[in-house]
Amino acid sequence: MFIIALLRALASLAALLCLARASALAESALAAPGAARLRDICLNALGERTGAVVVMDARTGDVLAAVPEDWSRRPMPPGSVAKIVTAYAGLSGGRITSTTRFHCSNALTVGGKVRHCTVPGGHGSLDLDQAIAQSCNVWFYQAARRIGTERILKAWRDFGVTGVEKRVDSPERLAVGEQGVRVSCLEMATLVRRVVTQRKRDRSMELVARGMRGAVTSGTAKELAGLGLSVAGKTGSPSQASDADRRHGWFAGFAPYDNPEICIAVFCLEGNSYRSAVPVAAEVLKGYFGARAR
Ligand SMILES: [Zn+2]
């Protein structure tokens, strides 16, 4: 009898603890972290990595966190994040549509040099959504030839990026962020916010946003699909001029997809591709959204 009573008492204590925890979670879900805590969340997410994290209020454009300050202002090559600007240039200029398809058989000659895509056998035939989600270089090389250098450079300037060169010799390399443009983390967050604020009235921008959502649901940023939040974003892994095998990592995105609260940009120096930036973004999103993320 005594043991049964003890077990009952323990069970009700456990239930009480569960209730207390649930109400604490509900409370944290209501409040976004304050500036100091968000800064700590971002710095902890970066950890030992050299790089930067910027979090911006999607509605007001206020910078909620930009750490560390020097790195968040340093212009770096955007790598494949550039594909969202290339896609916008093509869509808004009427050179491509959401149903434009190109074939990727892994390799394409660009400027006399054979360049490869990430998938050994190639991505096959892709439309725009799939090309953004899978970050297919060969698709974007072919799109770039149709869109043209001037249109892509203009789109970069329209997105508010200052580090845009006047002339670029390869539209293909410009299209995938290997040449012609350097972007700071702060500018990258601003660029994402432009997607977020203009998508309602600009069909081309809505298609770009949709492509970014696809990168999370079925593409290169899939790791963020398990957070219990509807995140959208684009990865990038620009190689260094001095050593093509050493790559930086980028992630630029926003959440939640339908009613965005924050835009986020993460850059990791020599981050061995986006594999660094995506996990950092995951930590920041979990920290910001608290119990609303898993
Ligand atoms: Zn490909």
- Quote the ligand 1 centre to 130 CA distance (angstroms): 10
* Amino acid occupying residue 13: L
H or E, element range at 66: strand 63-67
Q: Which of 206, 240, 184, 65 is nearest to 129 (CA)?
A: 206
- Quote the ligand 1 centre to 118 CA distance (angstroms): 6
Q: Where are the domains of the chain?
A: 33-76+184-294, 77-182
Split at pLDDT 50, 70, 90, the class of 271 is confident
Distance CA 155, CA 93 (A): 10
Q: What class has domain 77-182?
A: alpha beta
- Quote the ligand 1 centre to 117 CA distance (angstroms): 5
- Quote the ligand 1 centre to 116 CA distance (angstroms): 8
Whether residue 63 contacts residue 220, with contact meaning beta carbons closer than 8 Å, is answered with: no
Q: Of all residues in the chain, what percent are helix, strand and coil, respectively (each to 5)?
A: 50, 20, 30
Write down the pLDDT at residue 22.
47
Interval 27-54: pLDDT, tens: 444 578 999 999 999 999 999 999 999 9
- Quote the ligand 1 centre to 106 CA distance (angstroms): 6
Write down the pLDDT at residue 24.
44
- Quote the ligand 1 centre to 73 CA distance (angstroms): 32
- Classify strands 113-116 and 124-126 as parallel, antiparallel or unpaired: unpaired
- Quote the ligand 1 centre to 274 CA distance (angstroms): 17
- Quote the ligand 1 centre to 20 CA distance (angstroms): 50
Write down the pLDDT at residue 292.
84
Q: How many helices (H) and strands (E) does the chain have?
A: 11, 11
Whether residue 230 contacts residue 221, with contact meaning beta carbons closer than 8 Å, is answered with: no
Interval 58-76: pLDDT, tens: 999 999 999 999 999 999 9
Whether residue 76 contacts residue 187, with contact meaning beta carbons closer than 8 Å, is answered with: no
Across the range 150-177, mean pLDDT stands at: 96
- Quote the ligand 1 centre to 69 CA distance (angstroms): 36
Specify the CATH number of the domain 33-76+184-294: 3.30.450.330
DSSP string, 175-186: HTTSSSEEB-HH
